[in-house]
Structure 1
Amino acid sequence: MSSRRPWARHTAVGAVAAAALVALAVPAEAATTSATTSTTSQSASTTATAAAAKVDYATWQADCQAVMDQALPYLKTRIAATKPGEKQAIVLDIDNTALESDFGFSYPAPANKPVLNVAKYAQEHGVSLFFVTARPDIIGSATEYNLKQVGYQVSGLYVRNFIDLFKDVATYKTDKRVDIENKGYTIIANIGNSATDLSGGHAEKTFKLPDYDGQLS
């Protein structure tokens, strides 16, 4: 189990998480972060730390790999069957799906390797990657930078703005998949670790990574 601290959870995205990530993204500003903000950030991550501590990292990686071992053969077959003029896309959640959020406190956060390997195959075969996350838009640019730094080709990133905060997460994420379809894409797979990432349709196939009954964000 890694001793690194988690930094993002669906129930804790907000001003504290935003301030922490922006500070990491802009080192010059990090030096001016107040002691009060630092203390609050540590407090906000305490619950996440306790939850992640219940999950062994090696077990989580093995469980993620098992799901991706199902996803890759499907994607190979589906990509090979691309229709003329069809624009294929995969939609991915970020925290504990594309990135290792609850198993480390670093910036850029590491990629979740089983997912990255599948994503790389897809992007190398012309499939566009779209990321739909409940993270707030204030950390959108830092999030996109993180994804690109660890190897994802980002065709689009959806983060929550002020209006989106009034929607439940499942509805918000479904709306964004509809938007991707309206851009002319066929979503051949949707990958996430929560039911709110995958419910609502608008994807040919879904792949659920483990969240261990909500222990992971």
Structure 2
Amino acid sequence: MRSTRRTRTTRTAVVSVALAAATLTLLPAGAASAAPVVPAPVASAGTASAPGGNAKILGIDYATWQGDVATAVDAARPAIEQRIAGARPGEKQAIVLDIDNTSLETDFHWFWTQPTPAIAKVRDLTRYANDRGVAIFFVTARPGIIYSLTEWNLKAVGYPVSGLYVRDLPDLFGEVSAYKTGKRAEIEARGYSIIANIGNKESDLVGGHAERTVKLPDYGGKLS
């Protein structure tokens, strides 16, 4: 059963990436900030009241997931706020985030939903931090071919974006955890203190180069 679920998840991800790439190709020059024109069989597919997608296929309850995300973010937020308030003179602080099911509700909406909705609790934390001078970086395992569409999606749903790291071709053949650790090290090398690293999978969080990690639910790897 677990193998079947992995196959189904992989196929869904492949279809999603293919559609995203096709959508990006259809965008006119200079239109990265405009909404991609894609068919939407369900008029309200992007609303919180009508989630679907891979999570629905796997039987993951949307309300339960939202509650589990809120529990994790609410538990970590006071310490993050305290760290921001206690920034050293001249210190450049940063928060690093994964994207799928960490920043965006990827698996809870059908792949044609554009833009994919933000996870409100996480977005609110990034806005709070960014308003106080904290840089917000996204480090994702998504391939570089959908960089522009991913950046547009994040900004369209209200995220501040100080930087976005996607996997180039050589990165696709390595371990995701090693790739993400390396990118956090790059951010540190630019002079930033990474005060929090937020993700929903262990591969988002292992490897150090962050003062604090915040683990969101993935339900035993079911969520991408």
Equivalent residue, structure 2, for 1:22: 21
Q: Quote the Cα distance in structure 1 between the aligned partners of 2:55 and 2:94.
A: 35
Q: Quote the Cα distance in structure 2 between the aligned partners of 1:23 and 1:188.
A: 36
Structure 2 counterpart of 1:98, which letter?
S
What per-residue deviation string (whole Å, max 9, x for no partner) do you get for residues 87-131 of structure 1?
A: 000000000000000000211100011111111111111111000
Asked if the contact 1:89–1:185 (Cα under 8 Å) also holds between the matched residues in 2, the reply is yes
Q: Which residue, out of 108, 115, 118, partners 2:125? A: 118
What per-residue deviation string (whole Å, max 9, x for no partner) do you get for residues 32-63 of structure 1?
A: 9xxxxxxxxxxxxxxx7267532100000000
Equivalent residue, structure 1, for 2:85: 80
Asked if the contact 1:13–1:135 (Cα under 8 Å) also holds between the matched residues in 2, the reply is no
Bigger mean CA deviation after superposition, 16-25 or 68-77:
16-25
Over 3 Å counting, the alpha-carbon distance change for 1:11 and 1:119 in structure 2 is: farther
What per-residue deviation string (whole Å, max 9, x for no partner) do you get for residues 122-179 of structure 1?
A: 1111111000000000001100000001111111100001110121000000000000
Q: Which runs of 5+ in 1 are unaligned?
A: 1-8, 33-47
Q: Which runs of 5+ in 2 are unaligned?
A: 1-8, 29-35, 39-52
Q: CA RMSD in A?
A: 2.4
Equivalent residue, structure 1, for 2:73: 68
Q: Quote the Cα distance in structure 2 between the aligned partners of 1:121 and 1:78.
A: 13
> TM-score when scaled to structure 2?
0.80
Task: Give matches, 1:28-177, under 5 Å.
Answer: 49=54, 53-105=58-110, 106-177=113-184
Asked if the contact 2:55–2:223 (Cα under 8 Å) also holds between the matched residues in 1, the reply is no
Over 3 Å counting, the alpha-carbon distance change for 1:192 and 1:108 in structure 2 is: same
Percent of paired sites with the same residue: 54
Over 3 Å counting, the alpha-carbon distance change for 1:151 and 1:110 in structure 2 is: same
Task: Give the number of equivalent residue pairs.
Answer: 194
